[in-house]
A and B are shown apart, each in its own frame.
Chain A
Amino acid sequence: MALDSKIPKGPIADKWTNYKNHIDLVNPANKRNIDVIIVGTGLAGGSAAATLAELGYNVKAFCFQDSPRRAHSIAAQGGINAAKNYQGDGDSTYRLFYDTVKGGDYRSREANVYRLAEVSANIIDQCVAQGVPFAREYGGLLDNRSFGGVLVSRTFYAAGQTGQQLLLGAYSAMNRQIGRGKIKMYNRHEMLDVVKVDGKARGIITRNLITGEIERHSAHAVVLGTGGYGNVFFLSTNAMGSNVTAAWKAHKRGAYFANPCYTQIHPTCIPVSGDHQSKLTLMSESLRNDGRIWVPKHMKDVEAIRNKTLKPKDLAEDDRDYYLERRYPAFGNLVPRDVASRAAKERCDAGFGVNATGEAVFLDFASAIQRYGKEQAHVKGLDENDAALVKSLGQEVVKNKYGNLFQMYEKIVDQDPYNTPMMIYPAVHYTMGGIWVDYNLMTTVPGLYCIGEANFSDHGANRLGASALMQGLADGYFVLPYTIGDYLSDDIRTGPISIDTKEFEEAENEVREKLNFFVTNEGKHSVDYFHKKLGKIMWNKVGMSRNVQGLTEAISEIKALREQFWKDVKVPGTNEEYNEELAKAGRVADFLELGELFAKDALDREESCGGHFREDAVELDGEQKGEAKRDDENFAYVSAWEYKGEPSDALLHKEQLEFIDIELKQRSYK
């Protein structure tokens, strides 16, 4: 099957408007006869569920958590981008579009990104109307902050809890529709397969996580908003339950999986402390507005700091290496995430890591506290030379901006970041890859849609900060409700989809068989045993820096681990009860397949771009020496993998990317 991205014709600024003017609509009376299933209730799924229900469709929404409000979008900290230009600093739809395409290292689809930038301003209006309490200035208007990789302030925020507030907004819109009976909500349900009838997605099979009951649910279309697959690394900033299962089952039913190797390793996370570690905690990128990143210049100081004979705050300015400011003077501490992560790894690999494991750098707020303190003293007419006063005033400002993050840090590390610099290290955070979708957000399976982090379309090879929330809500509130209507207009005479068909029966039987295998297999090792092993392979060989040898080894190691898993995994308990080990077993089984495809994709892409860094593709000389080297001539395509049985048999389809409105050039933040 040839990939058709279905990008509308015409100038980029008119595409979306023209598209909306010419699609088929479903009249309100007919919408009442159409059912839509939405899996996942984060920003994308939640906003889509609410909007489709408002339009009149019958929505069935599913989440594995005990309430839609707990989806992992809730943990997003820093903010949401929108081209409002409230600061008058030259922002525009085009600039947001340009920054996002450039930030994604020219591996995203222009038309999708332009549409995203175009609807971004509507998102802010919609959220404020819903009562989302964004941060405001003293005049009562909305405040903005800056994020990495851009030169304007376009990020709207709510302290360090922006994702929480936006998700609660979408959740409240869902609640209104649940109350009206337009959304039927299924909490603590996990989707275990997609059901296709006559080639179209017509339903799903779920497991009730409390009772173990296997259920069939039918609809005229199925939407996946099931998030990213960062937990393939075991340790990541994702929630414990975040998984690839829904997306992977869709893949096995014919949805192509795009760019699995594009993973964002976030530069500012709390370092690993030991083998017991179950997850990693992010410290928002917004902290790089005010924090400066450094390691000591000299090895002797590194050693003194490690063995605690020197306090980091006592090291003289001249003996510190603010390596981001040194290497990237134009963007400094606000370079994009992939660049900042690689720079931290470079310093730590060279031996300058500041903690016992050698895998940490400092993020220091001392100069911000000074700057804010002096400003406050001036505003209040107090003594700007009183060091103690300036410090306490400055700390107050920093607390207002990032208090919750500082508290999180203190609780985990047991150090006070107001008085000593934070220690941070990169960690797996977000996956730009995902299910391939066309301009309509439809996968290669008719009637199966994919939105938010679960799809691949908008962030290319690297996502800019504060763009994930924007994309999730754009897809759910403003894009999918139009595009899915065009598809459903053909279904007004279809009538209800029966679940008593052989297609549903077969899918259900397959699900049951697999569950029965797990609870009856007499294995030796727990699910986590395998998950941790997989994570180690992924981090060491498919992580921040990749080479042919490592990737080839990873592929065979993952394959061997998968075979061992199916022989040796041990799951206690039964299927007919709450059984977290059983739920985890199914998820890890899918990670073990995805992991191999991920490595295969990384091996195929013989260039460095965004989060994908190949050691054999670097600039060898000139101003950009040592930086990532992209290869537009040979790799300006989306890799879309078709399932053919084993991951090693996956078939590559290429969607060639065309850059008409943005000139392809090297991404420089120097």
Chain B
Amino acid sequence: MNLTLKIWRQKSANDKGQLVDYKISDVSPDMSFLEMLDVLNESLVAKDEQPVAFDHDCREGICGMCSLYINGEAHGPDRGITTCQLHMRMFKDGDTIYIEPFRAAAFPVIKDLIVDRSAFDRIQHAGGFISVNTSGNTIDANAIPINKEDADDAFAAATCIGCGACVASCKNSSAMLFVGAKVSQFALLPQGQVEATDRVLNMVKQMDEEGFGNCTNTGACEVECPKGISLENIARMNQEYLKASFKG
């Protein structure tokens, strides 16, 4: 199929940036979206033009490195996947596709479609851990049985890949689904109880300092999340936060 691509080009963080049109032909429906961009980049290199910079690595939907806002949706039109898992069979011959970076004040553009998501790392530094040193003397892994339902819910929260689609999809650029997922993973496990109060207070404080917006319950984040992280995690974080505020 033949497509028109409107791609955000921005030389650096300080550059203004604009949408640039590209034509691409002979796109196979079996290509992934990023493979289609590879083909475009090969043709740009051949013409001595600058290839389009975009983040990507594992190309199997788990590393969270790829992003892209495609036709107004984080990770494009399909559900439950990342951009690298999006295939061109989702598009039709003659389509025009808008490709932009994830946009949020807390995710500044580095170049073209690449944004800086290190704010997510800093939120984790503030409390996304259980304080246990490596020793070889921790208690046996089966010493504390954990209710399967809680373990499964903790796992579901922990499958967040930190891609930032929730922030990009939210009209307030809120990171509460991301932070809620991490807080929930530990809140649901007995190991996480000891530091529960400090964890939620510190992580939320850092989240606010990074310039993410607030949650107004529109639920766009849950819809666009490639891993189906549930809104319940935000509710649980609010509960934990309230509990911690009374204690704190």
Contact = CB atoms under 8 A, between A and B. Distances in A.
Contacts of A407: 80-81
B134 interface: yes
A512 B8 CA distance: 31
A578 B80 contact: no
Contacts of B30: 273-274, 276, 414
Interface stretch (A166-174, A214-222, A608-616, A627-635): A166-174
A29 interface: no
Interface string B42-86: 101110111101011111111111000000000000101100011
Interface residues of A, number: 79
A140 B128 contact: no
Interface stretch (A126-134, A458-466, A662-670): A126-134
B163 to A, nearest CB: 10
B85 to A, nearest CB: 5
A145 interface: no
A478 B134 contact: yes
B110 interface: yes
Contacts of B65: 65-66, 70
Contact of A278 (B34, B133, B159, B185): B34
Nearest first, the 3 closest Cβ-Cβ pairs linking A and B are: A140-B145, A172-B129, A133-B155
Given A239-B57, A408-B85, A572-B51, A130 B45 contact: no
A521 B66 CA distance: 30
Nearest to B37: A278
Contact of A136 (B38, B138, B146): B146
B32 interface: yes
Contacts of A187: 118, 121
7 contacts: A51-B134, A72-B58, A74-B64, A130-B132, A137-B148, A240-B58, A573-B50
Given A133-B155, A133-B185, A179-B125, A125 B61 contact: no
Q: How many of chain B's residues touch chain A, expressed as a range?
A: 35 or more
Contacts of A412: 32, 85, 87
Contact of A133 (B36, B42, B50, B158): B158
Given A276-B36, A412-B87, 16 more contacts: A68-B121, A84-B142, A128-B141, A139-B145, A140-B147, A142-B142, A159-B155, A164-B62, A164-B161, A165-B155, A276-B38, A278-B35, A278-B59, A407-B80, A570-B45, A578-B114
B34 to A, nearest CB: 7
Contacts of A414: 30, 87, 89
B28 interface: yes
Interface string A133-149: 11111111110000000
A69 B160 CA distance: 11
Interface in B10-54: 11-12, 28, 30-32, 34-36, 38-39, 42, 44-46, 48-51, 53
A311 interface: no
A646 to B, nearest CB: 29
A124 interface: yes
B48 to A, nearest CB: 6
